[in-house]
Each structure stands twice: as structure tokens, then as C-alpha cells.
Structure 1
Amino acid sequence: MWVNILVCLLTHLIAGMSVSFDQSFSCYADSGNFTTNTTYAKNLDFILHSLPNNVSEHGGFFTVTVGQGSNKAYALGLCRGDLTSYVCHSCVKFAADDLRARCPNQKEAVSWSSDPPCILHYANRHFFKMLELYPTTFVHNNRDISSNLPQFDTVWESLMDSVVTKASNGSSTLKYATGKANFTASKTIYALTQCNPKLAHNDCDSCLRELVSFYKVCCHQKQGARIQNPNCWLGWDLHGFYVPNPATTAPSLSPPLAPVSKILIRSLLSWMNEKSDEKKLNKSIWVPSLSAALGLALFSACCFFLWKRINIQEDKGDTQEVQLLDLVLGSVPHENSSGDFNLENVGRSLDFPSIQLDILQAATNNFCDENKLGQGGFGLVYKGTLPNGKEIAVKRLSITSDQGLLEFKNEVILIAKLQHRNLVRLLGCCLEKNEMLLVYEFMPNRSLDVLLFDSSLAMQLTWQKRFSIIKGIARGIMYLHEDSRLRIIHRDLKASNVLLDHDMNPKISDFGMAKIFGRDQNQANTNRIVGT
């Protein structure tokens, strides 16, 4: 432990002498612009000038509001829980200067520094307690986990669950946690999580778990990474990168049980050693030794049966995941994928829930016609309600049909990898009893074409709402074309594939025809007619 503390302190001292920041930022165009020398500009200048001192002097977190009415400016600064005052001050100051240069006229912007991490967010609205999950940024180590990846994933997920729980249960001034766990005899995973302390417990938990779910999208197999959004961040590495503090350390995780075969071998060797020494022991010692050997054998047998039972349960639970993996990696042609894109890596990095068929049958009243929302090239879409009251939309395709199989695979590959507020969200899938089902968030205002081509409903679409929908669609397409990790061309964008949520926010759906492009690719030929 002392070695880790010294390494981290040395890192901070070096950073204090010459601080270098890996900076990410986002300028919010939707919030409007301001001009120089206006009241809002002066209020913002005052905030950004004073924020580094205030954050460093108040334990690494500070919020401030200046001005009145439409000229009111809000700002939040947050440093990682173990940063020294000097490094925290330097990080926030660098972020403030960087944002003013990169977003000179935007009323709202956010900046992240990955190492050492800090967040600076300013706006013309009150956002301190709001859960905002986008945009999400990340940096990762270029080195991969070369062996024991399944074991790494298991230990990683347990460790993250521990530190997320610890951080979200923090105080109104600090929601921060660290932890570590061994995944081999010589390698340890170190993890850190932190939230904006203004967030409620549940919001902090949701924020961090959103980042955890992003792991398979951005950083699977990586030895270390930092992932962050405007409200929280998490990081991990195979070396200590933070200063441990007992008050913020999550409970230690018990190392995984040794494989049963090793337990049995060790038990047998122990018993044989005792037998070989038996003649050297007197009678008073022989009886306890035999009792110990029998006890150890009994313990080993119990472990064996427990292990078998767990494995059987895991095998049952893994059946659908194996089916899905076979589907994605199977012999179905993947013309929609670019030649230089590794389909195997995409398939193996899928990470979303497998939902049982009986749950979806109950949610949709056994796919009754009354719950039918529509029909497309993929198949029928039904509305459903889960036991917890959450409304969902379920796409249904029979697995015995060739029609839509490629579209199903394409949709699974792409939407599982994409996260944006203007793209429909995939919640899970189901492959049981010749059924192939995809489960999405429910869009109560249906698709855009319903409103556009119904004269009574079209009256609801004021010009302001229409313009907001146009901008939302454009943001989604810009993300697909330029900002996502993959370059994706939708190829079937139409009003019926734009869904509207409760607040009439547009979300692009139906990626069955989409095509993945290489970063340097600007044209391609298709082998089949697609689109409408």
C-alpha cells in the first residue's frame, strides 16, 4: 500500500511541476450564443476567472451562479477526490482557458480532463442536480488483456459494482470511491468512480452504471481506461493510479475460489503427505490427522457439488447469449459491414440484457393485435409493459424465416454500439423457441410520419417543434457520420423511422439497412437494393 501511495504522490508532484492534460470538450450549440461585452459574457468571465480558486479551496468541488434573468450564468467545477489542491487548481484553470478558446461564443460548454481528471461545466441554465448522460468521452490504454479475459471481465464487473455502490452512497460534498481486486495471482485491477455530489443517490448510481455499460463499446479488453460524461467518471488500470483513502475505499472483494480440480488435488496431496508421515506420529496425533483429512475431503466434495450446481445454472443462463453470438458470427452474409471492420470483435463485445420470452409474452399480452404498433421490413412491432411498469416496444421476427435475418443481425451489431440522445435505445433481446425479439424504449408519440400525414395531428407541430425535430435528426445523423466510433450510413432515413418521445424529441430508428464505413472511406457499392 505504501508503494502505491508514494507512486501516486510522486505522480501528483510531477504534475504540479508541469501539468499536462488530455482534454475533451463539447460546445452546446442548442443553448445559443452570446456576444462579447454583453452582461452574460461579463458574468461568465467572472465565474471562469474565480472558479479555479473556489474549487481548489473547497475540497475539489464548487458551484456558483452569477447574474439575473436571462443573463444568469451557472458553473460547476469538480476534481478527482484524491487530487492535491495545486493539481486541482491547475486542472480547472486549464479547462476554463481551453473552453473559452474552443467555445468562444456558446452559452454552454463542458470540458473533461482525463488524467488528472476534472470537470468544468458552465451554462445559462440551472443544471447542477440534473442527470445528463451525454456526451460521453473516453481514453484508453493501448495495451490489451492478453490472457484470462473472461476472468478479467468477471472480476472487473464485480469490482465496478462495488465502487459504484460506494460512490453513489457518498455525501452531498463527495461521491467518490476507489477499490481493487486480484484477477490473477500477480495482477490487480484498480478502479475509481466519482459523481457530481449534487446528484441524488439514484442518479449517481444510474450515471456510473451507464459508464460501466459503455465499457464493452469503447474499452473492452483494455488494461486501463477513463470514461466520463458531464456528471460522473470512472477509471481502471492494472497499477495504482490514485492515492488510497480508507474512508473512500470500497469493501475488498474476496478472490475467486480456486477451481475445484485444484482443491481436490491439494486435498489429495495433503492426505498423502499425512499418510506418509503416519508411522512417525504417535497415536494421539494420528487420530486428529485422520479427522482433518476426512474433514478436508468432505469440504472438497461440498465445493465440487456447489461448483457443479453454479455451472449448470450459468450454462442455462448463457444459452441465449451463445445463440446470439452464433447468430452474429454465423454464416449470414454481412454485406452491410465494411471490409476493414472486424465483425468478430463487434459480436464478442455485445453487452445488453437477454430478456426471457415469457416476460415479453406477458408484457405484450402474448403479442395480441391490440398491442400492435406497426409493421416494417423487419417484422411486427408491439407495445408492452414490463412488471415494473416500464413501457417497451418489441420487434418480432420468426427465427425460421430468412426474411429480416440480416437486418436483425445488423441492428444488434450497430445499436448495441451506439449511444446518443437522438438514436433509439436498445434495451435487450430474446432468442427462445424460434423467436427473435428486440426490445426498445417505447416512443409514446409514435413516428414522425403519423403526425405529418394526419391533418388533425399535424396541427400540433408548430414551426418551433418542427425546427427542434429537424435539429435533433441532424444531430443524430452527424453523430453517425462523424462523431461515433464507427462511421455509419443509415440508408433508410425516412419519416417513419424517426420516433418521438414524450417531449417530442426525435430518435432515429431501424438500422437494419445501415452500412459501416471505414474512416477513410467515402464511397461504396451495394450488392442489393436497399431503402425505400
Structure 2
Amino acid sequence: MGLIRKRYFLFLFNVYWFLVLPMTDADNTELIYKGCAEQKLQDPSGIFSQNLKSLLDSLVSVSQSGKRVFFTTTSGEGQNVVMGLYQCRGDLSDSACYDCVSKVPDLLDKLCGKVVAARIQLIGCYLRYEIVGFKQVPETQLLYKVCGSKKASYDDGFEERRESAFGMVESGVKNTGNLFYTGSYQSLYVLGQCEGDLAKDDCGDCVKSAEDQAKAQCGDSISAQIYLHKCSISYSFYYKKGSSTSSSPGRAIEKIFSFPCFVVLTMYYTCVSSLPGEKRSLDTQRTVALAVGGFAALGFLIVCLLCLKSVLKKKGDKY
């Protein structure tokens, strides 16, 4: 009984491993882009470096307090002042915000070195700094874009849905307290956010500029990320009754077989291991034959159906 119980718990653990862990969210500390000024920091006295370190320490400390999604501050005096800020995505928890911001100082040093201004954009946050007198860029300056490779079909109503979703974002960022909005409209997920010191109307104008950039830069891509100096937007379109656009025959087969096969084999191993020796041998041969034959037949059927679907779709696209 003890052996059976141990293998039963092993089975439950493997179910958790295959079901729960793949569902975790994307890493909020993953790098999206870096922006490093070309001008190196001339600092023979070390004052700027000291002020920059104090600035970064202050930003990380405030993010750890869990009270602010956006924070800006300065360090130093006179001509040695360094200004900096961080902003976390509006739907992040306090701990996730801190985890994100705390990763940036090391990345700044590794990716940019000692420069007069820099910006690091991660999935969940960004941090930037600049020395006093650094040339300012417009609020709607395009900094970075990511356009999805998959294009919308002519008959799926993508452009109309995107226009409606964009309207929701423009209104949403102005009507929320933290200049952040996320929502969906007819299978199109959209997110928008402005830097925390923007006025509401300016935020709406910035988001509108980001939307225009998305149309101009990404065209009919069904997903995009647009980063301007003071705001950003992103969207992803899921079609065919909510199925993800990342779906493919290969991924479909993987999803169908990976977990069920593992569960069946684990259950089989658990049950058979508890049988007497002779019966276990006979049942092993019979079960293996049935399992292999059954999954082979099921796999062949699924592949045939997927191929047929692909052929029909290609024929339909010709007309």
C-alpha cells in the first residue's frame, strides 16, 4: 500500500507539473528594448556616477514600498543633477512591480554602460534617466515597435474591431486614475498606458498617436506593440471563437498528445506496479499493445483531419 500511495502522489505531482506550470504568466522582467545615448558620461570626479547610483537606489527603494506604480525624482545639485523615473504596468502587483524595477540597474550597466541618458523597457516596467540639459524628445516620438508576422484576413473584420478597440483605449486611459487601460473587443485584446505625469487629455492624444503609428508601421498585423516616449499600446487579435492566433497543426498535436499520453502512461505504471508478478506480465503486454495501437490510430486520424482542413482552407483562399 505504501508503494501505491507514493506512486499516486507522484502521479498527482506530474499532473500539476504539466497543467499548472505552463499556465504561468510571461516573465515581466524580460527585456523588450534598450535605448542608450551615444554620448558617454564624462565624469573624472565620479560625482555623476555617485548621483546616478543614488538615483537608481532611490527608484528601486520606492518601488519596493509598494505604494507607487509611477515615480520620478532627481539626485545631485546644480549642473550635476540626474533625473530619473520608473513606471510599472498598471495591472502588476506591488511585488511584481518591485521585481521588475529592481532588475533594471544591472541591465543599465551591462547594456548601456556609463552614458548621459538611457532607457530600459521590460515587459512589466521601464526605467529611464538623463543628466540635466539633455536634449528632450517629443512626447509622441516613436522609440520602438514590434509588429506581429501574422496578417489579418480580408473578411475577418479586423480593421473595424481594431478601430473600436482603439476608441476604448483612448477613452479608458483618460477615465482611469493611473492612465492605464486594458480590455477586449470582439476577440481583440488591447492595452494602453501613459507616463504617470501626463495630463489626461495629453495622455489621450499620445495614445491616439501610438494608434496611428500602429496602423502606419504594422498595417494589418493582428498583433503589435508600439512604444512612444510618453505612452505605449499593444494589441492581439484572436480569431475563430477565441482560439489563439499562435495555434498551428504542430501545436495542436502537441497539446493533444503531451499531457494525455503522460497521464495514461503514469496511471498505467501506477496500477500495473501493484499487481502480482505473473498477472503484471500478462497485463503489461496487453496494455502496452492497446495503448500504442490506440494512440497511433488517434494520432493518424488527427493528422489527417488537420491536413484536410489545411487543404480546404487553401482552396477557399483562392476564391
Normalised by the size of structure 1, how large is the TM-score?
0.37
Equivalent residue for 1:40, pick from 33, 42, 48: 48
Find out whether 1:68 has 2:77 as its counterpart: yes
Deviation per CA, 1:374-416, whole angstroms, max 9, x where unpaired? xxxxxxxxxxxxxxxxxxxxxxxxxxxxxxxxxxxxxxxxxxx
* Separation in 2, partners of 1:180, 1:135: 24
1:198 counterpart residue number: 197
Deviation per CA, 1:441-493, whole angstroms, max 9, x where unpaired? xxxxxxxxxxxxxxxxxxxxxxxxxxxxxxxxxxxxxxxxxxxxxxxxxxxxx
Q: Percent identity, please.
A: 26
Does the C-alpha gap of structure 1 residues 84 and 199 become closer, same or farther in structure 2, counting only changes over 3 Å? same
2:215 counterpart residue number: 216
1:141 counterpart residue number: 148
1:78 counterpart residue number: 87
In the TM superposition, residue 130 of structure 1 has moved relative to its aligned partner by: 8.4
1:258 counterpart residue number: none
1:120 counterpart residue number: 127
Deviation per CA, 1:7-30, whole angstroms, max 9, x where unpaired? 9xx544x63xxx651331212346
Q: Which amino acid aligns with 1:81?
A: G
Structure 1 runs (4+) deviating above 3 angstroms are none
* Separation in 2, partners of 1:118, 1:34: 28
SS in 1 for 2:87: strand
SS in 2 for 1:106: coil
* Separation in 2, partners of 1:100, 1:36: 18
Does the C-alpha gap of structure 1 residues 48 and 36 become closer, same or farther in structure 2, counting only changes over 3 Å? farther
Give runs of aligned pairs for residues 515-530 of structure 1, distance below 5 A.
none
In the TM superposition, residue 198 of structure 1 has moved relative to its aligned partner by: 0.4
Q: Is the 8 A contact 2:29 2:103 kept in 1?
A: no
Does the C-alpha gap of structure 1 residues 132 and 206 become closer, same or farther in structure 2, counting only changes over 3 Å? same
* Separation in 2, partners of 1:213, 1:92: 29
Q: Is the 8 A contact 2:67 2:94 kept in 1?
A: no
Q: Note the residue ranges of structure 1 that are not aligned, 5 or more in a row.
A: 1-6, 183-187, 240-532
SS in 1 for 2:90: coil
SS in 1 for 2:150: coil
In the TM superposition, residue 232 of structure 1 has moved relative to its aligned partner by: 0.9
Q: Note the residue ranges of structure 2 that are not aligned, 5 or more in a row.
A: 1-19, 239-319
2:181 counterpart residue number: 177
Q: Is the 8 A contact 2:73 2:83 kept in 1?
A: yes
2:57 counterpart residue number: 49
SS in 2 for 1:136: strand
Give runs of aligned pairs for residues 332-411 of structure 1, distance below 5 A.
none
Find out whether 1:161 has 2:167 as its counterpart: yes
- More helix as a share of residues: 2
SS in 2 for 1:33: coil
Does the C-alpha gap of structure 1 residues 11 and 62 become closer, same or farther in structure 2, counting only changes over 3 Å? farther
1:110 counterpart residue number: 119
Does the C-alpha gap of structure 1 residues 147 and 27 become closer, same or farther in structure 2, counting only changes over 3 Å? same
SS in 1 for 2:176: coil
* Separation in 2, partners of 1:200, 1:20: 28
SS in 1 for 2:184: strand
Instruction: Give the paired residue count.
Output: 216
Q: Is the 8 A contact 2:29 2:99 kept in 1?
A: no
In the TM superposition, residue 165 of structure 1 has moved relative to its aligned partner by: 2.0
Does the C-alpha gap of structure 1 residues 126 and 232 become closer, same or farther in structure 2, counting only changes over 3 Å? farther
1:207 counterpart residue number: 206
Does the C-alpha gap of structure 1 residues 125 and 235 become closer, same or farther in structure 2, counting only changes over 3 Å? same
In the TM superposition, residue 45 of structure 1 has moved relative to its aligned partner by: 0.9
Deviation per CA, 1:316-354, whole angstroms, max 9, x where unpaired? xxxxxxxxxxxxxxxxxxxxxxxxxxxxxxxxxxxxxxx
* Separation in 2, partners of 1:87, 1:34: 35
Does the C-alpha gap of structure 1 residues 36 and 165 become closer, same or farther in structure 2, counting only changes over 3 Å? farther
